[in-house]
């Protein structure tokens, strides 16, 4: 499998009864999620480091095709320079190795204050990073998106086969035709506009894999043109031999799986990819219902 697609989380109560079967218990959320999507952006590890037992259970609860992309803890990424926290990063890597083959790229999200002035710190950190553990880095300081810093960062990441995280926040800012009825969803959209970085989309692939974060609009059909754009780009990367990890967020996570499915269908129409497990589950549900109705 070279095209992995998922959401930012695997646990969302609003999925019960639509994405998850009716009556799904919280303890079964990960198991049901992994029957439908193929990767998850591990935001939980940013806030709290799990135990070895928890990590092993994650691996046991997911099929062989599934990939976790855990986010490095904020005590590493958001505490100034990276090198003073190298030991913490190495311990986190060793903990996540317990996922075995289900370990995807680790995700380092740097805060807006981490500027190109710290590129030497980043260079030393990457030099010490184990090559066999894939890493994706998101930068948010605006100077990284202008020259000469944009090219310097890309060159550094390419030298270490590290992906530059591509975050697309256009869907929550530049879709004037999107229809949001107000209320809770409108509030969530406004909060996302404040929290998510307003940075240019410069879709350069710097590694043997791509790591994309698409912040979708809650009006799912309004995403169509941007999803087509991404599907064209991703199909091109797949034909070049790259692996893709695509994550569809939404201010209201209720809609994230649907956006994942829309993007997967578009990529599948342009390149050869494995069927989405969710579609197989839906076919099984239909077959079971049809058989039951015959008796």
Domain residues for 53? Answer: 3-283
- The pLDDT tens digits for 201-245 are 999 999 999 999 999 999 999 999 999 999 999 999 999 999 999
Let me know if residue 162 belongs to a domain: yes
Domains of the chain: total: 1
Let me know if residue 68 belongs to a domain: yes
Let me know if residue 288 belongs to a domain: no
The closest alpha carbon to 207, from 153, 260, 170, belongs to 153
Mean pLDDT over all residues of the chain? 92
The angle at the Cα of 45, spanning 273 to 249, to the nearest 5 degrees, equals 45
Question: What's the Cα-to-Cα distance from 214 to each of 17, 28, 30, 258, rounded to whole Å?
Answer: 25, 26, 21, 13
Contact between 123 and 156 under an 8 Å Cβ cutoff? The reply is: yes
Phi, psi of 57 (to 5 degrees): -65, -40
The Cα–Cα gap between 91 and 161 comes to: 21
DSSP string, 110-134: --TT--GGGHHHHHHHHHHS-TTS-
Looking at the predicted structure, is the pLDDT value of residue 290 above 60?
A: no
Looking at the predicted structure, is the pLDDT value of residue 293 above 70?
A: no
- The pLDDT tens digits for 242-289 are 999 999 999 899 999 999 999 999 999 999 999 999 998 876 554 443
Query: What confidence tier does 54 reach under pLDDT thresholds 50, 70, 90?
Result: very high
Q: Which two tokens stand for residue 43?
A: 């935001």
Let me know if residue 289 belongs to a domain: no
The Cα–Cα gap between 217 and 181 comes to: 13
What's the pTM? 0.92
CATH of residue 79's domain is 3.20.20.410
Is 192 or 55 the better-scoring residue by pLDDT? 55
Let me know if residue 256 belongs to a domain: yes
The closest alpha carbon to 130, from 102, 99, 92, belongs to 92
- The pLDDT tens digits for 80-118 are 999 999 999 999 999 999 999 999 999 999 999 999 999
Share of the chain above pLDDT 70, in %: 95
Let me know if residue 292 belongs to a domain: no
Let me know if residue 249 belongs to a domain: yes
Contact between 164 and 157 under an 8 Å Cβ cutoff? The reply is: yes
Contact between 205 and 160 under an 8 Å Cβ cutoff? The reply is: no
- Look at residue 49 and give its three-state secondary structure: coil
Query: What confidence tier does 197 reach under pLDDT thresholds 50, 70, 90?
Result: confident
């Amino acid at each position: 499998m070279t095209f992995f697609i998922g959401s930012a989380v695997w646990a969302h109560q609003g999925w019960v009864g639509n994405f998850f079967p009716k009556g799904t218990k919280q303890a079964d959320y990960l198991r049901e999620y992994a029957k439908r999507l193929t990767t998850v952006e591990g935001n939980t590890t940013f806030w709290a480091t799990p135990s070895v037992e928890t990590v092993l259970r994650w691996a046991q609860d997911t099929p062989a095709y599934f990939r976790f992309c855990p986010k490095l803890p904020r005590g590493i990424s958001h505490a100034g320079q990276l090198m003073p926290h190298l030991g913490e990063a190495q311990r986190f890597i060793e903990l996540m190795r317990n996922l075995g083959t289900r370990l995807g790229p680790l995700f380092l999200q740097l805060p807006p204050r981490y500027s190109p002035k710290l590129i030497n710190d980043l260079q030393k950190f990457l030099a010490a990073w184990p090559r066999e553990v894939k890493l994706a880095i998101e930068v948010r300081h605006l100077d990284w998106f202008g020259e000469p810093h944009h090219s310097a960062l890309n060159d550094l990441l390419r030298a270490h086969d590290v992906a530059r995280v591509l975050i697309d926040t256009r869907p929550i800012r530049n879709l004037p035709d999107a229809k949001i009825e107000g209320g809770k969803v409108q509030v969530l959209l406004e909060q996302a506009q404040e929290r998510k970085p307003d940075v240019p989309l410069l879709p350069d692939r710097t590694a043997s894999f791509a790591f994309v974060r698409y912040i979708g609009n809650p009006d799912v059909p309004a995403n169509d043109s941007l999803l087509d754009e991404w599907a064209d780009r991703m199909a091109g990367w797949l034909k070049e031999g790259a692996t893709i990890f695509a994550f569809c967020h939404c201010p209201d996570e209720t809609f994230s799986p649907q956006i994942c499915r829309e993007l997967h269908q578009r990529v599948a129409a342009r390149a050869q990819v494995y069927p989405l497990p969710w579609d197989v589950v839906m076919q099984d549900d239909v077959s079971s219902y049809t058989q039951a109705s015959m008796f």
